[in-house]
Amino acid sequence: MSVPVFHTDPVTLRASDAVVLAGDEGRHAAVVRRIRPGERVDLTDGAGHLARCVVVGADRNGLTCDVQDRVDVAEPAPRLVVLQALPKGERGETAVETMTEVGVDEIVPWSASRCMVRWKGERGEKALRKWRSTAREAAKQSRRAWFPKVADPAATPAAADRLATATRGLVLHEEAETALGDVELPAHGEIVMVVGPEGGVAPEELEAFRAVGAEPVRLGPTVLRTSTAGTVAAGIILSRTARWNP
Is 32 domain-assigned?
yes
Is 120 domain-assigned?
yes
Q: What is the pLDDT of residues 148-177, one digit of tens each?
A: 999 999 999 999 999 999 999 999 999 999
Are 97 and 126 contained in the same domain?
yes
Whether pLDDT at 221 is above 70: yes
Q: What is the CATH number of the domain that holds 91?
A: 3.40.1280.10
In order of 132, 145, 151, 234, the CA distances from 95 in angstroms are 12, 20, 15, 11
CA gap 90, 99 in Å, rounded: 14
Q: What is the pLDDT of residue 15?
A: 80
Are 56 and 84 contained in the same domain?
no
Q: What is the pLDDT of residue 96?
A: 98
- E strand or H helix that includes residue 66: strand 62-72
The answer to whether 35 and 5 are in contact (CB under 8 A) is no
Q: What is the pLDDT of residues 198-211, one digit of tens each?
A: 989 999 999 999 99
Are 138 and 119 contained in the same domain?
yes
Is 246 domain-assigned?
no
Computed over every residue of the chain, the mean pLDDT equals 95
Point out the domain boundary residue: 28, 44, 72. 72
Helix (H, G, I), strand (E, B) or coil at 163: helix
Dihedral in degrees, nearest 10, Cα atoms 231, 237, 238, 241: 180
CA gap 149, 175 in Å, rounded: 30
CB atoms within 10 A of CB 78: 21
Whether pLDDT at 14 is above 90: no
Is 186 domain-assigned?
yes
Are 147 and 55 contained in the same domain?
no
> Residues 6 or more apart from 118 whose CB is under 8 A from it?
86, 111, 124
Are 68 and 83 contained in the same domain?
no
Dihedral in degrees, nearest 10, Cα atoms 93, 170, 197, 156: 100
The domain in which residue 139 lies consists of 79-240
CA gap 171, 229 in Å, rounded: 11
CA gap 207, 148 in Å, rounded: 29
Are 151 and 202 contained in the same domain?
yes
Is 104 domain-assigned?
yes
Point out the domain boundary residue: 21, 54, 72. 72
Q: What is the pLDDT of residue 16?
A: 84
* Residue 140: closest CA among 3, 5, 245, 17: 5
* Residue 217: closest CA among 201, 239, 240: 201
Are 119 and 64 contained in the same domain?
no
Q: What is the pLDDT of residue 1?
A: 67
Is 137 domain-assigned?
yes
Are 106 and 14 contained in the same domain?
no
Helix (H, G, I), strand (E, B) or coil at 27: helix
Q: What is the mean pLDDT of residues 79-90?
A: 95
CA gap 91, 225 in Å, rounded: 9
Are 130 and 202 contained in the same domain?
yes
Confidence of residue 43 (pLDDT cuts 50, 70, 90): very high
Q: What is the mean pLDDT of residues 115-133?
A: 93
Are 147 and 187 contained in the same domain?
yes
Q: What percentage of the chain reaches a pLDDT higher than 90?
A: 91
> Residues 6 or more apart from 129 whose CB is under 8 A from it?
none
| Better-scored residue on pLDDT, 158 or 117 | 158
Is 144 domain-assigned?
yes
The phi, psi pair for 28, rounded to 5°, reads -60, -45
CB atoms within 10 A of CB 173: 19
Point out the domain boundary residue: 50, 72, 94. 72
Tell me how many domains the chain contains.
2
Confidence of residue 82 (pLDDT cuts 50, 70, 90): very high
Q: What is the CATH number of the domain that holds 17?
A: 2.40.240.20
**What's the predicted TM-score (pTM) here?**
0.93
Q: What is the pLDDT of residue 2?
A: 86
Are 188 and 144 contained in the same domain?
yes
Whether pLDDT at 131 is above 90: yes
CA gap 47, 147 in Å, rounded: 7
Q: What is the pLDDT of residues 91-107, one digit of tens each?
A: 999 999 999 999 999 99
Whether pLDDT at 225 is above 70: yes
Are 165 and 230 contained in the same domain?
yes
Is 221 domain-assigned?
yes
